[in-house]
Chains A and B, each alone.
Chain A
Amino acid sequence: MQLDLAPSAAPEQRRDSIDPAATLGLLMAAALAITPEYASAATPPDGTLVGIKYLDYLDYSQEGDRMRVSAPLLYLSAPLSDAMAMEASATVDSMSGASPEFHNTLSGASKRGIHDRRTAADAKLRRYFERSNFAVGIAHSDENDYRSNAANLEGQWLSANQNTTLTVGLGYSDDHISSENQPKLHETRHTRSVLAGLTQVLSPDDILQSNLSYSDGDGYFSDPYKALDKRPASRHQLAWLTRYNHYFTPLDAALHLDYRYYRDSWNVRSHTLQASWHQDIGSWSVIPSLRYYSQSAASFYSDRFPPAKFGTLYSADHRLGAFGALTLGVKLAKIIATDLVIDIQAEFYQQRSSWKLGGEGSPSLQPMSARIIMIGLNKTFR
């Protein structure tokens, strides 16, 4: 029996593995049985997956800012017929923190401390054809001072030998921004996004994916909780993500390598490199991971407060400054019964201006650290 270490993996990808000791005939039969379902599904999942996850997030800076987010998350993926499937998720996250800084960074923030609650849900319906599938999705997110409604369409086309998959996606989001500090503030933001991606099987042990996404947003981008924060009324973002997976037969392990290049019309340029190792040991699975991130500053970012000149584009939001960041993570998963997997994951994250790629980041940025813990339970009903 194969370790199912991917508790929330697309259920169509869960099958008994091929016993290396099996005869060639059995091997081929087993491989053929899973063929249509690898990489990008050509058929709906063969079981209903119910997953719950609990997130506990804490970040802290040297200035004494602290923020904690805890969130339970529910996920459901189910076939509706031979050619139709749905997936849905819902979450409620509660945020609490205290920020002694005047120009702080949190939504719903004030000098007295922060308490905010966000509810979010999304659903997607997918229809499968012989060598393609099409999905329509909606998403909603609601906070005291922020409301977002989004819709998206996605199409996937597989080549005749199913070694190549083309993905095209379109998205639209309609956001409303208000502020507890400024009752008169009612602003909007509209974002259109498009994605094109190619997934290619390179060998029996290598698979590559490259996605290009572009989003075009207009409206209110400033942070109503930051004094004098004034950002452009539009933002164009381009992201190019390439992912490569390699399977090591002698170890029954997989290596994932990801690289993302990002640039936007605010003059932010960023590079993200990520590597993870997926190792099965008996009924356990161990997944260590490492991530490096670097960004340049937005053109209107300034370390100084207040700004040199009033009324011009200005932000002291450290997230628009120049810095680098490292994440170290590990995930452990264990099959505890048939089709039942429990997992725990811990990540440690740190931002430092000196870690920016190729030298100096924004000089007055203080290091920021965060730790993330996630616990999950996944059950498949067949």
Chain B
Amino acid sequence: MTLSRYLILLPLILLAACSSVEPWQKGHLAKPKMAFDPDPLSARLKQHIYASKEAASGGEGVAAGGCGCN
């Protein structure tokens, strides 16, 4: 998928988001398994490993510093 096609998707997603979810409907979203990083420690280690074996990195947060492995 090209970047421009990807850009077109964003307003659609935001439009869908306009349906309001009330505070008492957020029980499921509050569950730990619905967190984007349920295990941040493991996520951090894996990001480090992938960044040392692949050319791409980033997206999860601002860079926390370099390493001689890449």
A interface residues with partner B (beta carbon < 8 Å)? 2, 4-10, 13-15, 17-18, 27-28, 30-32, 34-35, 37-39, 51, 53, 55, 57, 59, 71, 73, 75, 89, 106-108, 116, 118, 120, 122, 137, 139-141, 143, 145-146, 148-150, 152, 154, 161-164, 169-171, 173, 175, 177, 189, 191, 193-195, 199-205, 207-211, 213, 215, 237-241, 243, 245, 247, 249, 253-254, 256, 260-264, 266, 268, 270-272, 278, 280, 285, 293, 295, 298, 319-320, 325, 331, 343, 345, 347, 349, 351, 368, 370, 372, 374, 376
Q: Are B38 and A9 in contact (CB under 8 A)?
A: yes
Residue of B nearest to A263 (CB): B3
The residue from B31, B39, B57 contacting A254, defined by CB atoms under 8 A apart: B31
List 19 contacting pairs A-B, 8 Å CB cutoff, sorted by A: A6-B38, A14-B32, A18-B27, A37-B30, A57-B49, A107-B69, A118-B68, A118-B69, A137-B64, A161-B23, A169-B61, A215-B58, A238-B58, A270-B54, A270-B56, A272-B56, A298-B55, A351-B53, A370-B53
Known: A34-B30, A38-B29, A163-B20. A8 touches B42 (CB 8 A): yes
Alpha-carbon distance between A295 and B50 when the two chains are bound, in angstroms: 13
User: Looking at chain A's contact residues, is the secondary structure mostly helix, strand, loop, or mixed?
Assistant: strand
Give the residue of A146, A202, A260 whose beta carbon is less than 8 angstroms from that of B19.
Answer: A202
Does B45 have its Cβ within 8 Å of any Cβ on chain A?
Answer: yes
Q: Is the CB of B13 within 8 A of A31?
A: no
- B25 shortest CB reach to chain A, Å: 4
Q: Mark B17-38, 1 if CB is under 8 A from A, else 0.
A: 1011111111111111111111
Whether B68 pairs with A319 at a CB distance below 8 angstroms is: no
**Contact in complex: A150, B64 (CB < 8 Å):** yes
Instruction: For the complex, give the distance between the alpha carbons of A368 and B50 in Å.
Output: 13
A225 nearest in chain B by CB position: B68
Of A57, A141, A245, the contact of B65 (CB 8 Å cutoff): A141
Chain B interface, number of residues (Cβ within 8 angstroms): 55
Residues of A within 8 Å of B33, CB to CB, are 5-6, 253-254, 278, 280, 285
In the complex, are the beta carbons of A249 and B28 less than 8 A apart? Answer: yes
Q: Are A163 and B58 in contact (CB under 8 A)?
A: no
Known contacts A37-B30, A164-B17; A295/B68 CB under 8 A: no
Q: Are B28 and A205 in contact (CB under 8 A)?
A: yes
In Å, the complex CA distance between A139 and B3 comes to: 32
Using known A-B contacts A73-B41, A272-B56, determine if residue A207 contacts B67 with beta carbons closer than 8 Å: no
CB-nearest residue of chain B relative to A28? B24
| Chain B residue at minimum C-beta to C-beta distance from A7 | B39
Bound CA span A106–B70, Å: 8
- Are B35 and A9 in contact, with the CB atoms below 8 A? yes
Query: Given A73-B41, A245-B34 in contact, is the A34-B26 Cβ separation under 8 Å?
Result: yes
With A9-B39, A203-B21 given, name 8 new contacts (CB 8 A).
Answer: A28-B24, A31-B26, A107-B67, A163-B20, A191-B63, A240-B59, A370-B49, A372-B46
Q: Which residues of B contact A325 (CB under 8 A)?
A: 53-54
- Within 8 Å CB of A55, what residues of B? 45
Alpha-carbon separation in the docked complex, A71 to B69 (Å): 14
The residue that A6 contacts in the complex, of B3, B32, B50, with Cβ under 8 A, is B32
Check A139 against B61 for contact (C-beta < 8 Å). Answer: no
Partner of A171, one of B24, B26, B29, B63: B63
Smallest distance from the beta carbon of A182 to chain B beta carbons, Å? 14
Q: Which residues of chain A are near B58, meaning CB under 8 Å?
A: 193, 213, 215, 237-239, 241, 262
A13 CA / B61 CA spacing, docked (Å): 20
Contact call B54/A374, Cβ cutoff below 8 A: no
